[in-house]
Amino acid sequence: MTYLEAINSVLRRLREDQADTALESDYSALIGDFINDAKRMVENSWNWSALRVTTVIPTVSGTSEYSITDSGQDAVIKAVINDTSNRFMKLESQAYFNNVYYNQTVVSGSPVAYKVTGVDANDDLTVKVYPSPDAVYSLRFDLARPQGIITADATKIKVPYNPVVQMAYAMALRERGETGGQSAAEQFAVAATALSDAIAIDANRFPDETTFMVV
């Protein structure tokens, strides 16, 4: 479903005229904001298959910190692989990195560990790796990366659109007030059910991520 289609889906539920473009009126623009708000809430509820991407970062000899380009600050790192050395990299603590970089002589070599250090000026995640690279290594970052704010009519919503529309409709009902029909509280319950169902469907694709073991 596109951004404009989602806006019109909400407008129809509100018994409003459909829009030819998201910015056709102040009200259609408001519904567009609700669509984006709802989309972000849905995105943050689960690491959706539609949002999973792999970004490859080539290291530079002597440089230990890197930005994950186009990740955005809300991305979740699912796994990191040193593709050159054919090994998974381990997420380590800040204490570990403080120890190996400041309490010891820094080792150079093929990276085996990483840590998220923050975000850069572009709001992309930054990571530090250890050992400090002594050559060019290809580091593969498997991410769940939320879609940015949608502004173009034809842009498709990547996450399941039904919970997005249902949540945006609930927000619109709350903003409008009681209409004599469905209340905002009732609609938020419908949206929660739609979200729960969508997560259950998508989670079936990743059974290893929803199976927990006592260790």
Average pLDDT in the chain? 95
The pLDDT confidence band at residue 182, using thresholds 50, 70 and 90, is confident
- Dig out the tokens for 208 from the structure: 């290893």
Which pLDDT score, from 0 to 100, does residue 41 have? 97
Mean local confidence (pLDDT), 80-85: 98
Which pLDDT score, from 0 to 100, does residue 21 have? 98
Which pLDDT score, from 0 to 100, does residue 213 have? 60
How far apart CA 153 and CA 145 sit, in angstroms, is 21
Residue 36, classified by CB atoms within 10 Å of its CB into exposed (0-12), middle (13-18) or buried (19+), is buried
Mean local confidence (pLDDT), 103-128: 96
In this predicted model, what pLDDT tens digit does every residue of 140-158 receive, in sequence order? 999 999 999 999 999 999 9
Checking if the pLDDT of 214 tops 80, the result is no
The pLDDT confidence band at residue 210, using thresholds 50, 70 and 90, is confident
Pairing of strands 138-144, 52-58: antiparallel
H or E segment and range at residue 171: helix 161-176
The domain segmentation of the chain, as residue ranges, is 3-44+147-205, 51-144
Checking if the pLDDT of 126 tops 70, the result is yes
Checking if the pLDDT of 211 tops 80, the result is no
Pairing of strands 108-109, 90-91: unpaired
How far apart CA 82 and CA 113 sit, in angstroms, is 9
The pLDDT confidence band at residue 208, using thresholds 50, 70 and 90, is confident
Which pLDDT score, from 0 to 100, does residue 151 have? 97
Which pLDDT score, from 0 to 100, does residue 178 have? 62
Checking if the pLDDT of 209 tops 90, the result is no
Mean local confidence (pLDDT), 64-74: 95
Mean local confidence (pLDDT), 23-32: 98
Checking if the pLDDT of 69 tops 70, the result is yes
Among 50-59, 68-77, 169-178, 190-199, the least confident range: 169-178
Checking if the pLDDT of 212 tops 80, the result is no
Checking if the pLDDT of 81 tops 70, the result is yes
